Structure 1
Amino acid sequence: MRVGFIGAGRMGAPMVRRLADAGHQVRALGRDDEKRAAVAALGAEPVDSPRAAVTDAEVTIICVFTDDQVLALCPDLIDEVPEGSVLVLHTTGSPRTAEALAERGAARRVAIIDAPVSGGPHDIAAGTVTVFAGGDEDAVSRAREVLTAYADPVLHVGPVGSGQRVKLVNNALFAAQIGAVAEGVRLGDRLGIDEATLLSALTHGSAASRALGGIAATGSAEAFIARVGEFIGKDVAVVRRTVSELDGDLGRLEGLLDSALK
């Protein structure tokens, strides 16, 4: 398929490579010579503007870092993508953003899918990142051939905005699990248990989780939080802001989210 791609950075670059390797015709934005050279090395056609990236695209993929970047880019981009095409939003953000863009897209028969991912660049490179897709069933079906180049599973979780809602719950729980492990390490310290010994033992017990496994592999809760703090902090901020926008609250998760950021 013809794919336009904007956001070939830390997460987007392995997506572009896998799309190109799968035989898709990919045009990807590179804003300077160095970035365009990097795009070409991934197997895609480098272009110097968002408009050039989406020309003739059947599916356009947006993988920028923040919801604000999506809001700055996508309203005008919807007017540039071909009628009848699909625009996929991989950025984790507010479901209200996806819903507003879907309303704008409807006038030009441009389907919007909010499709945040769960996993990192290594999962994308392996083709095993998880996608939570919110949107019309037909649109998700049309985009699936593209998404499955780097994602497995691709889960259709409901209408537009549902992907973001599921991802926000996922992120809240993951951050809470990190916070719970950090509190467990503090308890172990008070009980006189060495942290490395404790973490290694817990990975074999009923307390095992992906968060615990990542912390144990890193060596300590403090080191893990320092390594992923920027991304966890962003996700927690988005969770809190979005829950507030939706007139909800985090309940007992709130304190654990604080522990994940210490």
Structure 2
Amino acid sequence: MRVGFVGLGNVGGKLSGSLLRNGVDLVVHDLNPDLVAAFVERGAAAGEGPSAMMRDCDAVITCLPSPAASDAVMREMLPEVGPGKIWMEMSTTDEAEVKRLGAQVIDRGGAAVDCPVSGGCHRAATGNISIFAGCDRETFERILPLLTKMGRRILHTGPLGSASILKVVTNYLATANLVSLAEALTVSRAAGMDLNVAYEAIRISSGNSFVHETESQVILNGSRDISFTMDLVAKDIGLFQQVADRVGVPLELNPLMIEIFRDGIDRFGPRELSPNIIKRLEEATGLDIRAPGFPAKMVDDEAEAPGAEVIVRRPAAE
């Protein structure tokens, strides 16, 4: 299978790197020519653009910063879509939008998949990230070998659009974790706790989470560098709110988080690193929420391992 990859940013560059590292015949495209040149030096081919990539490749993956960007790329690719072609959307996007674009692909005889990732840039770099995949089962079987070259745990979530819903659900939960950890660490410091001890107390307790074991470390280091920015958080929790509004669920926590990140963006700028949402509390209290011994960036210390499908637990047949 010849694979095109459009979007070589923080996440896309790492996912496409895993494909290249694992021997996939890869064609890449990005608006930044330096990113493309770096991949060409490593053995990838430079794509002439989305249209040519869809024409020349069996599957084209998009990993882009917004639904609008995906729409623009799809408008270029669509004339080249036909039977046997696969579009794989790995961006965090809107369920309704991926269904709309996917329907156009399917109408032309192609296959469409929304397959966002979860687990952080450090796991995307090693091929140990988790991947959700929304599509029919036949398409999932076709792309599973490709997904296992980019991720460790692959979950077939159901029809097209289901993966995008679950992605924004999990990003909502990660954001709630981040905001609550910012408060927990600030209160711990204000109460005179040793933050190194506080970190371990949370880690070994019922308060632990994936976000604590990753983002709390770069908060305490002071780098706050998780390769994710406030505007992207705002986009993700905004998408979660849209899903809730469509299905009529009256949320209480998410609207508050939207306001918190709107304020963070107003104060620090949209491209501020997302863990620096804690700066709102640092400024309000005059406290410095840092501690020695924590890394400036997270590195995945697990060796790369072959990916596999996650089997959903079901009740035993009667």
Cα offset for 1:108?
1.1
Aligned residue number for residue 72 of structure 2: 72
Aligned CA distance change for structure 1 residues 103 and 82 (closer, same or farther; 3 Å) = closer
Aligned residue number for residue 204 of structure 1: 204
Q: Which amino acid aligns with 1:201?
A: A
Q: CA deviation digits over 1:127-176, x for unaligned, max 9?
A: 11111111111111111111111112111011011001111110111111
Q: Does 1:119 align with 2:119?
A: yes
Q: Which amino acid aligns with 2:179?
A: G
Aligned CA distance change for structure 1 residues 258 and 186 (closer, same or farther; 3 Å) = farther
What secondary structure, in the 3-state scheme, does the structure 2 residue paired with 1:235 have? Answer: helix
Aligned residue number for residue 155 of structure 1: 155
Deviates more, 1:167-176 or 1:214-223: 214-223
Q: Which amino acid aligns with 1:48?
A: E
Aligned CA distance change for structure 1 residues 240 and 224 (closer, same or farther; 3 Å) = farther
RMSD of Structure 2 on Structure 1 (CA): 2.6
Aligned residue number for residue 146 of structure 2: 146
Aligned residue number for residue 137 of structure 1: 137
Q: How far apart, in 1, do the equivalents of 2:76 and 2:219 lie?
A: 46
Q: How far apart, in 1, do the equivalents of 2:101 and 2:192 lie?
A: 54
What secondary structure, in the 3-state scheme, does the structure 2 residue paired with 1:92 have? Answer: coil
Q: Which amino acid aligns with 2:104?
A: R
Cα offset for 1:253?
4.6
Q: How far apart, in 2, do the equivalents of 1:206 and 1:257 lie?
A: 26
Deviates more, 1:195-204 or 1:244-253: 244-253
Q: How far apart, in 1, do the equivalents of 2:43 and 2:168 lie?
A: 33
Q: How far apart, in 2, do the equivalents of 1:69 and 1:106 lie?
A: 20
Aligned CA distance change for structure 1 residues 17 and 43 (closer, same or farther; 3 Å) = farther
Cα offset for 1:82?
4.0
Q: How far apart, in 2, do the equivalents of 1:33 and 1:178 lie?
A: 34
Deviates more, 1:150-159 or 1:227-236: 227-236
Q: CA deviation digits over 1:159-195, x for unaligned, max 9?
A: 0110011111101111111122122224324533243
Q: CA deviation digits over 1:90-120, x for unaligned, max 9?
A: 1111100111112212221111111111023
> What's the TM-score, normalizing by structure 2?
0.74
Aligned residue number for residue 86 of structure 1: 86
What secondary structure, in the 3-state scheme, does the structure 1 residue paired with 2:153 have? Answer: strand
Cα offset for 1:74?
1.2
1:187-198 correspondence to structure 2 within 5 Å: 187-198=187-198
Q: Which amino acid aligns with 1:147?
A: L
Q: How far apart, in 2, do the equivalents of 1:25 and 1:39 lie?
A: 12
Q: Which amino acid aligns with 2:233?
A: I
Aligned CA distance change for structure 1 residues 17 and 254 (closer, same or farther; 3 Å) = same
Q: How far apart, in 2, do the equivalents of 1:167 and 1:221 lie?
A: 28
Q: Which amino acid aligns with 2:4?
A: G
Cα offset for 1:226?
8.9
Q: CA deviation digits over 1:39-87, x for unaligned, max 9?
A: 2023210123112222232211001111111122214412213422211
Q: CA deviation digits over 1:204-249, x for unaligned, max 9?
A: 2221111111243224398649974423233223322443344434
Contact 1:32 1:48 in 2 (8 A): no
Aligned CA distance change for structure 1 residues 210 and 59 (closer, same or farther; 3 Å) = same
Contact 1:3 1:25 in 2 (8 A): yes
Contact 1:133 1:156 in 2 (8 A): yes
Aligned CA distance change for structure 1 residues 34 and 222 (closer, same or farther; 3 Å) = closer
Q: How far apart, in 2, do the equivalents of 1:41 and 1:69 lie?
A: 26
Q: Which amino acid aligns with 1:234?
A: K
1:1-262 correspondence to structure 2 within 5 Å: 1-31=1-31, 33-220=33-220, 224=224, 228-230=228-230, 231-255=232-256, 261=277, 262=280
> What's the TM-score, normalizing by structure 1?
0.88
Q: How far apart, in 1, do the equivalents of 2:72 and 2:94 lie?
A: 14
Contact 1:17 1:43 in 2 (8 A): no
Q: Which amino acid aligns with 2:238?
A: A
Contact 1:30 1:48 in 2 (8 A): no
